[in-house]
């Protein structure tokens, strides 16, 4: 059958006479190239030639899956002839042309397997097999890499905008522009224009409940106004960077159909992000008058952010949609740049790779939830309470973590609860990331996968460290701003890592050679 013929071909590869292998290849309708020295080829192919029990096969749709320890079978429709390539001392790959009955198959995987370069590696390979990063052959337009870099560039712009937004919030600049002008782009130019904007600002809660008690003048107002204006203009820039190239690619008809839905999502959600931002700002411009204590004073109510800040719900939504846009842009861009790349594995590694996949997705999920909860930490100024670590006010579970009057809103409005949740999610993210790294430690992963995983672990450790420092130093801008930016970088690293393992297949897909007549 298929296995017998493939075994015969590999056995012939070690023959001193290359003519014998060539004749065998011609019988199978393929051409052979055998530059590998006979000694190395014998080391690899002899077990196959002598022991049929070393192979495992199973059907895979219209293809036949041939799984052998440390032997890769590659399918490549590029050439009209299939090739037995033994060109590297540690690599064996077999490229087989699809037969006419399967000629309509567009995407087929290419697999390689690495023979043991060291005694330890050889022993491990005999027991488990190998994992290799390979490519599928898909119908392309030739513009995939251009489109990929465009989308990755847009995701980088969104990261910059998120960073600017974090600084805007930390400097208290978000409520300085009390009007929304989608068509306006110019800063106030004259003294009269600045005074008009300042007078409008004085009519709103942030000035009434907070700024008037501070030494706050025109120069201070100009600074916070510029920060908010710059954030809004930066948001518009990504719209231009996205829409103009999109129109160009659409006009040329080079956009793959597989990403139509994602591009539509990006266009709709991205276009509405400015409106979402204004919806958030409006919640801070329409705050109700705070209630004082019976003595007319109560606590320092003018500094209570509930009366001079935006809704934490809307802030978290605004932040989450921006991060979602960035991650979708990055995911789609990577898919275009690295289109169709797979991981192959031997059956012995299937279970371990499954756990790696599960740990990785769990860690990424907790990272996403931690970033989402960070919006509520920011909206409630929860970083200004419980500024010790690893305990919270000297306790594992601090007092005041639950207030009956708030009920379920404790998770979103109680400063102590919000910070406790944020810490817990960060610990879970770091723990599952460490578990993922440990699961991958002894796996023969391709370098690109291991590099991405190391980047994830480094980002998670750095992010948790910056979070602790933000608490210890009572949320200084110099640390808090990189901490918010770090959440986006960490999630991007997760996307990169999951992209490298997202297309793990059951094994090398092998198209059977037609029977020899």
- For the segment 200-216, what is each residue's pLDDT rounded down to a tens digit? 998 888 888 778 778 88
Q: Give the pLDDT mean for 427-456.
A: 92
- d(CA 302, CA 288) in angstroms, rounded, equals 13
Residue 278 has pLDDT above 60, yes or no: yes
Q: What is the band of 85 on the pLDDT scale with cuts at 50, 70, 90? A: very low
Q: Give the pLDDT mean for 290-319.
A: 62
Among 81-95, 193-207, 282-296, 479-493, the range of highest mean pLDDT: 479-493
| DSSP sequence for 189-211 | -SHHHHHHHHHHHHTSHHHHHTG
Q: What was the pLDDT predicted at 130?
A: 52
Counting other chains too, the contacts that 49-52 makes at CB distance below 8 Å and 24 or more residues apart are 49/7, 49/10, 49/11, 49/14, 52/3, 52/4, 52/7
User: For residue 136, which of 110, 113, 162 has the smallest C-alpha distance?
Assistant: 110
Q: What is the band of 113 on the pLDDT scale with cuts at 50, 70, 90? A: very low
Among 34-43, 94-103, 297-306, 441-450, the range of highest mean pLDDT: 441-450
**Contact yes or no for 3/55 (Cβ under 8 A):** yes
Q: What was the pLDDT predicted at 354?
A: 81
- d(CA 235, CA 240) in angstroms, rounded, equals 9
| Average pLDDT in the chain | 73
Q: What was the pLDDT predicted at 120?
A: 40
- d(CA 63, CA 57) in angstroms, rounded, equals 11
Q: What was the pLDDT predicted at 3?
A: 57
Q: What is the band of 401 on the pLDDT scale with cuts at 50, 70, 90? A: very high
- d(CA 308, CA 211) in angstroms, rounded, equals 10
Q: Is 78 exposed, middle or buried (0-12, 13-18, 19+ CB in 10 A)?
A: exposed
Q: What was the pLDDT predicted at 435?
A: 93
Structure tokens at 494: 């997760």
C-alpha distance from residue 276 to each of 144, 231, 457 (Å): 32, 14, 33
| DSSP sequence for 280-335 | HHHHHHSPPPPPPPTTS--S-GGG-GGGSS--HHHHHHHHHHHHHHHHHHHHHHHH
Q: What is the band of 473 on the pLDDT scale with cuts at 50, 70, 90? A: very high
Q: What is the band of 356 on the pLDDT scale with cuts at 50, 70, 90? A: confident
Among 406-410, 416-420, 442-446, the range of highest mean pLDDT: 416-420
Q: Give the pLDDT mean for 37-60.
A: 38
Q: Give the pLDDT mean for 297-307.
A: 44
- For the segment 357-391, what is each residue's pLDDT rounded down to a tens digit? 899 999 999 999 999 999 999 989 899 999 999 99
Q: Give the pLDDT mean for 421-443.
A: 94
Among 39-53, 114-128, 341-355, 484-498, the range of highest mean pLDDT: 484-498
Least confident of 137-146, 414-423, 458-467: 137-146
Q: What was the pLDDT predicted at 7?
A: 57
62's CB contacts (< 8 A; 6+ apart) are 102, 105
Q: What was the pLDDT predicted at 448?
A: 87
C-alpha distance from residue 486 to each of 160, 455, 465, 499 (Å): 12, 12, 11, 20
Longest dimension (CA), the chain: 104
Residue 50 has pLDDT above 70, yes or no: no
Q: How many CB atoms lie within 10 A of CB 329?
A: 27
Residue 235 has pLDDT above 70, yes or no: yes
């Amino acid at each position: 059958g298929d296995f017998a013929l493939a075994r015969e071909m590999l056995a012939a590869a070690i023959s001193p006479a290359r003519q014998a292998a060539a004749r065998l290849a011609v019988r199978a309708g393929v051409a052979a190239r055998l530059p590998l020295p006979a000694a190395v080829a014998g080391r690899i192919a002899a077990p196959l030639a002598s022991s049929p029990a070393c192979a495992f096969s199973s059907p895979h749709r219209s293809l036949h899956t041939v799984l052998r320890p440390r032997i890769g079978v590659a399918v490549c429709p590029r050439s009209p002839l299939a090739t037995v390539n033994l060109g590297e001392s540690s690599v064996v790959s077999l490229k087989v042309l699809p037969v006419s009955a399967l000629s309509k198959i567009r995407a087929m995987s290419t697999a390689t397997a690495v023979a043991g370069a060291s005694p330890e590696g050889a022993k491990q390979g005999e027991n488990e097999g190998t994992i290799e990063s390979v490519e599928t052959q898909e119908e392309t337009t030739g513009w995939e890499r251009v489109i990929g870099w465009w989308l990755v560039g847009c995701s980088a712009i969104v990261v910059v905008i998120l960073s600017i937004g974090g600084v805007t919030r930390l400097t208290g600049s978000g409520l300085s522009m009390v009007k929304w002008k989608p068509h306006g782009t110019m800063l106030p130019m004259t003294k009269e224009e600045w005074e008009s904007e300042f007078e409008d600002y004085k009519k709103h809660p942030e000035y009434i409940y907070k700024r008037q008690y501070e030494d706050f003048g025109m120069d201070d107002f100009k600074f916070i106004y510029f920060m908010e204006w710059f954030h809004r203009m930066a948001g518009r820039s990504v719209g231009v960077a996205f829409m103009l190239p999109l129109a160009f690619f659409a006009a040329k008809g080079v956009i793959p159909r597989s990403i139509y839905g994602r591009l539509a999502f990006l266009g709709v959600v991205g276009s509405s992000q400015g409106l979402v931002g204004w919806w958030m700002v409006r919640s801070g411009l329409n705050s109700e008058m705070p209630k004082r204590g019976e003595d007319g004073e109560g606590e320092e109510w003018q500094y209570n952010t509930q009366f001079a800040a935006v809704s934490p719900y809307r802030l978290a939504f605004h932040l989450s949609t921006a991060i979602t846009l960035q991650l979708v842009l990055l995911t789609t861009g990577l898919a275009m740049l690295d289109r169709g790349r797979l991981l192959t594995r031997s059956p012995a590694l299937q279970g371990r790779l499954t756990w790696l996949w599960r740990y990785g997705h769990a860690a990424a999920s907790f990272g996403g939830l931690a970033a989402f909860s960070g919006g509520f930490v920011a909206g409630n100024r929860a970083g200004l309470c419980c500024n010790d670590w690893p305990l919270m006010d000297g306790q594992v579970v601090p007092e005041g973590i639950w207030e009956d009057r708030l009920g379920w809103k404790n998770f979103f409005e109680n400063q102590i609860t919000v910070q406790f949740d944020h810490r817990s999610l960060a610990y879970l993210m770091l723990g599952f990331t460490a578990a993922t790294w440990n699961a991958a430690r002894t796996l023969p992963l391709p370098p690109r996968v291991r590099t991405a995983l190391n980047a994830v672990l480094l980002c998670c450790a750095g992010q948790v460290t910056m979070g602790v420092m933000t608490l210890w130093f009572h949320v200084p801008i110099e640390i808090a701003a990189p901490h918010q930016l770090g959440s986006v970088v960490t999630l991007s690293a997760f996307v990169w890592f999951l992209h490298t393992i997202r297309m793990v297949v059951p094994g090398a897909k092998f198209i059977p050679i037609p029977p020899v007549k």
